Amino acid sequence: MKRSSPRSTTTPSATPRQATSRQGGAARKRSLAKPEAAAPDTASRSGARYQQTRFSSRLRAWGRHHRAMALDSLYRLVRHPLGNLLTMLAIAIALVLPAALWLTLDSAKLLNTELDESATLTVYLDVSVDEAQAVRIEEAVVADEGVAGTRRISPEQGMAEFQESLGVDDTLAGLEDNPLPTSIVIAPQTVDPQAMAGLAQRLEGLAGVDEVRLDLAWVERLRHLAELGRRVALALGVLFGFGVLLVVGNTIRLAVESRRREIEVVMLIGATHAFVRRPFLYSGAWYGVGGGLLALGLLGLGNYWLSLPVAALAASYGASFTLPQLDVTGSTILLSCSTLLGWLGAWLAVTRHLTSIRPR
Amino acid sequence: MIAFEHVSKRYGGRFDALAHLNFRVARGEMVFLTGHSGAGKSSLLRLIMRLEKPSRGRVVVAGHDIAQLHASQVPFYRRQIGVVFQDHQLLFDRSVFHNVSLPLEIQGVEPREAARRVRAALDKVGLLHREKALPVELSGGEQQRVGIARAVVNKPALLLADEPTGNLDPQLSADIMALFEDFNRIGTTVMIASHDLALIARLRHRILRLRDGRLVGDEGAV
């Protein structure tokens, strides 16, 4: 190779080297077939532009083949609708499970923030504390840096709220004395459990404070549950993602096997691996697209199927709650993930398989 | 165009399919490669096509030791060579036209230009009227001519053929060989492996004889 002269690009003797340079097939071939007609004059006069048009024609050819293969693989898919639909359905099912779990968690997170907002401390004052003292204590509480806001509830207000929530006017009216202390409801700056515990401790040290109620255990539990769920969803997502890879990989492996002869022939006449791989990559991507769309459909169907009982259940608790649905972003993410997985599965299968195919 | 320098090819460490081959083929030459089956004709062609590498020695094509080509360069190297196979290697689910246009498709030739060249090649082998047919609808001789059209559609500088007249009757064989001579006349280097000694002898071209992987005769060299 080294021995050939630099000018040898004008002769066929340079073919292998030249062939790998970024030149179009036509130029290569011409220089081979008619050695004397080749590069020097073109190169010296308009070399750069020549190269550029070569490059752009190569790019056009590349785009053309991509388009052709995308359509060809789609056509192959449509030609055997049942089998391919089953493959897509397998992909869809693998995607629906983690996606549904994720959606559920999303709604739990929504609930979680509502709970965070309702996370408060209640300070109960000594019964002996009168209103003026209560006002001073409230001022002291507000001065604490961990406190975002307060609401003082006098014994009378407390009694009224209590009665209202019980719906019994008469029983409590029979009491001689109002047994309730003044209470101060505090919205903390943060719902961080440790910060809240510290705040509670400081407040308990104030004079006239009888007790500070802080019940965060359920918030904590919910949070742990959500974290657990998130991890389960992630693990399932990874696992089922592998499942999708395997499903697509296996399907593509069969497709490669059934077109083995064709692959051998095109490799014999100079097809690159990329060229051979391309139709299969598109097939994989189409499987992914189909699977993703089916998964979206299944999620919508599931939502419709569950929405009525869920609404009835929520209503019985006096709440309004609708099942979360995938928004545009979520749908796009799901669809791109499945497409990418299909493509990747095909890539792995073809690459693994191509090494075993040698033209005879 | 082709130079074999002390080339040996050994399969599986048992025996030498080719041993100590030394010869050169000039640009524009037409050469027959002959010998009984198993003499190494196909192995020799496979070495030139870079389907295999020699165990020893160098195979130099167009000035390059092709063993040194990187795997990613090999496809581009193969595009420079037209090959006619004994079993045609046609794709049976595609029309004659698409079979012939395959090399151009691989190289990304613009479709209208490709169609023009495909028709020119089919015209050359006399099958222009069958371009829409599927290979199974053709006779053996016609299939072989489709294979030839595919090999030359690219106007390669080097044309290889492995037993191109293997299963054909004498008249068809002569026609096929005449086709190869036509291509040789316009400057293509042609190398044909064949054991049809009678036919080869009539054609008066250089003949390389192989026996048990060794070159035992080189007649009619210019």
Instruction: Decide if A266 and B102 are in contact by the 8 Å CB cutoff.
Output: yes
User: Which among A186, A215, A244 is the end of a domain?
Assistant: A215
Q: How far apart are CA B101 and CA B114, in angstroms?
A: 7
Instruction: Decide if B80 and A16 are in contact by the 8 Å CB cutoff.
Output: yes
Choose the weakest-confidence range: A39-53, A193-207, B196-210: A39-53
Percent of chain A with pLDDT over 70: 76
pLDDT for A49 beyond 70: no
Interface test with A, best of B45, B58, B85, B109 (most A CBs within 10 A): B109
**B63–chain A nearest CA distance, Å:** 5
Name the band, by pLDDT with cuts 50, 70 and 90, for residue A290: very high
What's the confidence (pLDDT) of residue A359?
67
Burial (CB count <10 Å: 0-12, 13-18, 19+), residue A340: middle
Return the CA Rg of chain A.
36
The letter for the amino acid at A313 is L
Greater pLDDT, A16 or A326: A326
Q: Is residue A124 part of a domain?
A: yes
Are residues A275 and A72 in contact, defined by beta-carbon separation less than 8 angstroms? no
**B66–chain A nearest CA distance, Å:** 8
Q: Is residue A34 part of a domain?
A: no
Domain co-membership, A335 together with A271? yes
Query: By residue range, what is the domain housing residue A334?
Result: 64-115+220-354
What's the confidence (pLDDT) of residue A41?
41
pLDDT for A292 beyond 70: yes
Helices (H), chain A: 15-20, 25-33, 40-79, 81-117, 131-143, 155-166, 170-173, 193-204, 217-258, 260-268, 273-316, 328-354
pLDDT for A5 beyond 50: no
Q: Which residues contact B98 (CB under 8 A, 6 or more apart)?
A: B91
Q: Taking all residues of chain B, what is their mean pLDDT, rounded to a whole number?
A: 90
Classified as helix, coil or strand, B71 is coil
What's the confidence (pLDDT) of residue A225?
81
Q: Taking all residues of chain A, what is their mean pLDDT, rounded to a whole number?
A: 78
Expressed in angstroms, the distance from the first to the final Cα of chain B is 14
User: Which among A215, A242, A277 is the end of a domain?
Assistant: A215
Q: How far apart are CA B14 and CA B39, in angstroms?
A: 15
β-partners of residue A156 are none
Domain co-membership, A225 together with A328? yes
List of chain B residues whose C-beta atoms are within 8 Å of the C-beta of residue A358: 51
pLDDT for B43 beyond 80: yes
- In what helix (H) or strand (E) does residue B42 lie, and over which residues does it extend? helix B41-48
Domain co-membership, A317 together with A241? yes
Q: Is residue A283 part of a domain?
A: yes
pLDDT for A26 beyond 70: no
Q: How many contacts, defined by CB atoms under 8 Å, are there between A and B?
A: 122
Q: Which residues contact B79 (CB under 8 A, 6 or more apart)?
A: A19, A25, A28, A269, A270, B103, B106, B107, B154, B156
List of chain B residues whose C-beta atoms are within 8 Å of the C-beta of residue A8: 63
Instruction: Decide if B79 and A24 are in contact by the 8 Å CB cutoff.
Output: no
Q: Which residues contact A53 (CB under 8 A, 6 or more apart)?
A: none
Are residues B92 and B136 in contact, defined by beta-carbon separation less than 8 angstroms? yes
The letter for the amino acid at A65 is H
Name the band, by pLDDT with cuts 50, 70 and 90, for residue B221: low
Cβ neighbours of B128 (radius 10 Å)? 16
What's the confidence (pLDDT) of residue A173?
64
List of chain B residues whose C-beta atoms are within 8 Å of the C-beta of residue A255: none
B116 and chain A: CB distance < 8 Å anywhere? Answer: no
Are residues B193 and B186 in contact, defined by beta-carbon separation less than 8 angstroms? no
Q: Is residue A49 part of a domain?
A: no
What's the confidence (pLDDT) of residue A47?
54
Domain co-membership, A224 together with A344? yes
What's the confidence (pLDDT) of residue A133?
85
B108 and chain A: CB distance < 8 Å anywhere? Answer: yes
Name the band, by pLDDT with cuts 50, 70 and 90, for residue A112: low
Of B215, B209, B218, B173, which Cα lies nearest the Cα of B35?
B209
What's the confidence (pLDDT) of residue A80?
85
Q: For A188, phi and psi rounded to 5 degrees? A: -80, 160
pLDDT for B19 beyond 50: yes
pLDDT for B111 beyond 70: yes
Domain co-membership, A192 together with A256? no
Domain co-membership, A135 together with A100? no
Of B205, B111, B79, which Cα lies nearest the Cα of A65?
B111
Highest mean pLDDT: which range of A30-34, A178-182, B115-119: B115-119
What's the confidence (pLDDT) of residue A188?
79
Q: For A152, phi and psi rounded to 5 degrees? A: -90, 135
**B209–chain A nearest CA distance, Å:** 23
The CATH number of the domain holding residue A159 is 3.30.70.3040
What's the confidence (pLDDT) of residue A62?
85
Are residues A231 and A325 in contact, defined by beta-carbon separation less than 8 angstroms? no
pLDDT for B99 beyond 90: yes
Name the band, by pLDDT with cuts 50, 70 and 90, for residue B208: very high
Instruction: Decide if A58 and B108 are in contact by the 8 Å CB cutoff.
Output: yes
**A87–chain B nearest CA distance, Å:** 25
Q: Is residue A267 part of a domain?
A: yes
Are residues A243 and A94 in contact, defined by beta-carbon separation less than 8 angstroms? yes
Domain co-membership, A200 together with A233? no
Q: Is residue A304 part of a domain?
A: yes
Domain co-membership, A68 together with A152? no
Of A196, A226, A228, which Cα lies nearest the Cα of A110?
A226
The CA–CA distances, whole Å, from B216 to A352, B34, B212 equal: 43, 10, 9
What's the confidence (pLDDT) of residue A172?
61
Domain co-membership, A194 together with A290? no
Domain co-membership, A206 together with A284? no
Domain co-membership, A273 together with A321? yes
Helices (H), A269-357: 273-316, 328-354
Cβ neighbours of A23 (radius 10 Å)? 20
Average pLDDT for B102-119: 92
Q: Which residues contact A283 (CB under 8 A, 6 or more apart)?
A: A73, A76, A77, A251, A252, A255, A346
List of chain B residues whose C-beta atoms are within 8 Å of the C-beta of residue A57: 110
Q: How far apart are CA B212 and CA B19, in angstroms?
A: 8
Q: Is residue A46 part of a domain?
A: no
pLDDT digits (tens, 9 = 90+) for A296-313: 999 999 988 988 888 888
Average pLDDT for A235-261: 92
Q: Is residue A72 part of a domain?
A: yes
What's the confidence (pLDDT) of residue A170?
61
Domain co-membership, A342 together with A233? yes
Choose the weakest-confidence range: A9-23, A83-97, A255-269: A9-23
Instruction: Decide if B150 and A16 are in contact by the 8 Å CB cutoff.
Output: no
- Least CB–CB distance from B79: residue in A12, A62, A270: A270
Closest residue on chain B to A64 (Cα)? B108
The letter for the amino acid at A202 is R
What's the confidence (pLDDT) of residue A116?
62
List of chain A residues whose C-beta atoms are within 8 Å of the C-beta of residue B152: none
What's the confidence (pLDDT) of residue A22?
41
> ipTM for the complex?
0.88
Q: For B23, phi and psi rounded to 5 degrees? A: -165, 165
Domain count of the fold of chain A: 2
pLDDT digits (tens, 9 = 90+) for A56-94: 888 888 888 888 888 888 888 888 888 899 999 999 999
Helices (H), B49-189: 74-78, 96-107, 111-124, 140-152, 170-185
Interface test with B, best of A258, A269, A276 (most B CBs within 10 A): A269
pLDDT digits (tens, 9 = 90+) for A329-354: 889 999 999 999 999 999 999 999 88
Q: How far apart are CA B131 and CA B146, in angstroms?
A: 9
Highest mean pLDDT: which range of A109-113, B210-214, B218-222: B210-214
pLDDT digits (tens, 9 = 90+) for B130-189: 999 999 999 888 999 999 999 999 899 999 999 888 778 888 888 889 999 999 999 999
